[in-house]
């Protein structure tokens, strides 16, 4: 991946990140309030999900891999009595006040990467590509004024480069 040859100074991260304008919104988890059933693992196929303070704030808490979420939910269903689809998934440090009659919450702060890499939407793509290459990232979150705006994956970058070069994405080596 040789950024400087592929991107001039014209491409910005906002041009390559997802979602695009016509796409569905970014699939995020809120740090509390969602249930196991709402935890996006069944309704989407993304490899990971940003965790935010709330839908309204879009303040970033961290990033959770789909794989870890699936394993944790599966384990909890097997071991923890009472964890069901209606159980709350909680990513906060402290447990929320629990409703007496509700199922027990599933506490998953342990699987959150609390310092995911981020770039801003206006970061030039050559710098973002450099970060991916030097740090060996698979994905990076994109913010605007401190709010979560999107996500960019290694594959998004490769596809964009392929479009620019008008070549088959599989023919470009990532090194």
The token duo for 58 is 């879009």
Q: Are 31 and 90 in contact (CB under 8 A)?
A: yes
- Phi/psi-derived region of residue 82, left when phi > 0, alpha when psi is between -120 and 50, beta in every other case: left
Binding-site string for ligand ADP from residue 133 to residue 172, where x marks contact by CB under 6 A and - marks none: ------------------x-x-xx----------------
User: CA nearest 133: which of 46, 9, 7?
Assistant: 7
**Given the complex with ligand ADP, which of 19 and 96 has the nearer CB atom?**
19
- State yes or no: residue 19 binds ligand ADP (CB under 6 A): yes
Q: Which residues within the stretch 20-49 sit at the binding site for ligand ADP (CB under 6 A)?
A: 26-27, 46-49
d(CA 74, CA 83): 10
- State yes or no: residue 18 binds ligand ADP (CB under 6 A): yes
Binding site for ligand ADP (CB under 6 A): 18-19, 26-27, 46-49, 151, 153, 155-156
């Amino acid at each position: 991946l040789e950024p400087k040859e592929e991107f001039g100074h014209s491409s910005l991260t906002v041009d390559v990140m997802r979602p695009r304008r016509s796409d569905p919104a970014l699939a995020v988890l809120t740090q509390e309030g969602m249930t196991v059933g709402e935890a996006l693992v069944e309704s989407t196929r993304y490899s990971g999900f940003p965790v935010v303070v709330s839908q309204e704030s879009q303040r970033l808490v961290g990033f959770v891999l789909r794989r870890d979420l699936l394993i944790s939910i599966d384990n909890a269903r097997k071991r923890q009595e009472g964890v069901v689809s209606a159980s709350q998934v909680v990513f906060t440090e402290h447990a929320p006040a629990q409703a007496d009659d509700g199922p027990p919450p599933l506490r998953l702060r342990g699987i959150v990467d609390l310092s995911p890499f981020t770039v801003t939407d206006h970061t030039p793509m050559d710098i973002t590509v450099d970060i991916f290459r030097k740090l060996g990232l698979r994905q990076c979150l994109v913010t605007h004024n401190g709010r979560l705006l999107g996500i960019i994956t290694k594959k998004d970058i490769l596809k964009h480069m392929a479009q620019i070069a008008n070549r088959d994405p599989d023919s470009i080596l990532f090194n």
